[in-house]
Amino acid sequence: MSAGETAPVAPPPTAATSSPFTHLLVTGGAGFIGSCFVRDVLGRRDGTRITVLDKLTYAGNRANLAAVENDPEQAARFRFVQGDIADPAVVGPLVAETDAIVNFAAESHVDRSILDPEAFLRTGVIGVHVLLEACREEQARVELGERARAPRVLQVSTDEVYGSKDAGYSREGDVLEPRSPYSAAKAAGEQLVRSYAVTYGTDGVVTRGSNTYGPFHHPEKLIPLFITNALDDLPLPLYGDGMQQRDWLYVSDHAGAIEHVLRHGASGETYNIPGNAELPNREVVARLLELLDKPWSLVRSVADRPGHDRRYAMDGAKLHALGWRNRTTFERGLAETVDWFRANEAWWRASRSGEWDAYYARQYGTRIAGGSAMAQVARAESPNTR
Ligand code: NAD
Ligand code: DAU
């Protein structure tokens, strides 16, 4: 399928009515992908209830849930709790009252994991362990006849656990070779889920999602950073030669695939969630500048990310066999993302406040000072899409 075509097969319905999961605990639900999941599930108005547990780190934003909180029908099925997934006193009672946990909570930015790894391990490893222990408590309550079934836990993981893939496509059974503190913590978290499924019979599933983009994406990441910098005519810091390749996945497709696996996936299994646009970073930047009507001269070639993974690409056959297809082409998703950032300047300026300037100076100060203008390479003839 080319990036310009729409998916031929519509996914089967995932209505809560056909599923035992009617009250969900969504951890990290105030972040980019988690908030999309919450908005989409509650916006379907099928009776599903959601409790969000979120620590509100620099990346968590209650405003991402405003559409839900400002709608009386959805607000009645929604509760927000500020707290840490690594805190058993907070997690235990919430897990006790839910049918399933969808764990989005994580420190999610690779560059920050290179600057300060510790928080990545605390949330990504200890936090997941606390969630799993709470599930084990509920399994004990099932044995005592205190509840009908134990909760299912879905761990949201990433293609980065496979490490850099020079050629071919990573499959779920491949060896994991994470290469950054971020991806090492993600690998540890999902391995804990699998180990609890094997050892204690915990009902656990894992998804490995591809590079995600769309509205509400924190401006620290490539696409929103370059959109917001370009809108302000600031330099666009492209790492190394800019030929690293990612497979882009629209945020509502990622959130929808996660819900599909939650409701239809088999316990103990892992499912890749690929995107539908395998492109080198330079090509993504060229397309963004075209949509924004800004010149390539904004692009600076800067010092590379240490240990920078060259390429990620996953095989999606297992998810397809479960009945899921992505719906959003890269052309449409990118145009909608640019439009959203243009229309929501107050949101992204607020995200670029507080600790932003200190982070930006630390990550980019020396890089941009030592950077150079970058010649634009010939545009890719046709993107390698599946
Ligand atoms: P994000 O950084 O936008 O959101 C993370 C959310 O988790 C924030 O709301 C934050 O406040 C919350 N959080 C962090 N630590 C917490 C803790 N200890 N307790 C409770 N809440 C906490 O991240 P995102 O891009 O939405 O990613 C969500 C998940 O998806 C992550 O697990 C990430 O590893 C995974 N993932 C992301 C992508 C991507 O491209 N963004 C792709 C594949 C997988
Ligand atoms: O692949 C899934 C992963 O995608 C998720 O697990 C992570 O949570 C998410 O952050 C993302 O990781 P990446 O490191 O791939 O995304 P990021 O947007 O940081 O970078 C995308 C590419 O762009 C990567 O090759 C690095 C490059 N880049 C990034 C930034 C922020 C630049 O060239 N310049 C930049 O300033």
Distance of CA 280 from the midpoint of ligand 1 (Å): 24
Please write the tens of the pLDDT for every residue from 7-55: 434 444 444 445 789 999 999 999 999 999 999 999 999 999 999 999 9
Burial bucket for residue 75 (CB in 10 Å: 0-12, 13-18, 19+): middle
Q: Is 58 assigned a catalytic role?
A: no
Looking at the chain, list the stretches that DSSP marks H as alpha helix, in order from N- to C-terminal side. 32-43, 66-69, 72-75, 88-96, 110-115, 118-121, 128-143, 181-200, 222-231, 251-264, 281-292, 317-321, 330-343, 345-351, 356-369
Cβ count near 89 (within 10 Å): 9
pLDDT score, position 18: 55
For residue 163, give the DSSP letter: -
pLDDT score, position 379: 65
pLDDT score, position 374: 86
> Is the distance from the beta carbon of residue 224 to the nearest atom of ligand 2 less than 6 Å?
no
Distance CA 137, CA 224 (A): 41
Catalytic residue among 54, 84, 138, 160: 160
pLDDT score, position 380: 57
Going by alpha carbons, the residue nearest to atom 36 of ligand 1 is 158
Distance of CA 29 from the midpoint of ligand 1 (Å): 8
pLDDT score, position 341: 98
Residues of the chain with pLDDT under 50: 1-17, 382, 384-386
Distance CA 278, CA 274 (A): 10
Of 179, 207, 183, nearest to 193 by C-alpha is 207
Residues 6+ apart with CB under 8 A from 213: 221, 223, 224, 248, 249, 250, 251, 333, 334, 337
pLDDT score, position 8: 37
> Is the distance from the beta carbon of residue 239 to the nearest atom of ligand 2 less than 6 Å?
yes
> Is the distance from the beta carbon of residue 236 to the nearest atom of ligand 2 less than 6 Å?
no
pLDDT score, position 17: 42
Distance of CA 212 from the midpoint of ligand 2 (Å): 9
pLDDT score, position 56: 98
Please write the tens of the pLDDT for every residue from 92-121: 999 999 999 999 999 999 999 999 999 999
Under 8 Å between Cβ of 322 and 260: yes
pLDDT score, position 5: 35
Burial bucket for residue 250 (CB in 10 Å: 0-12, 13-18, 19+): buried
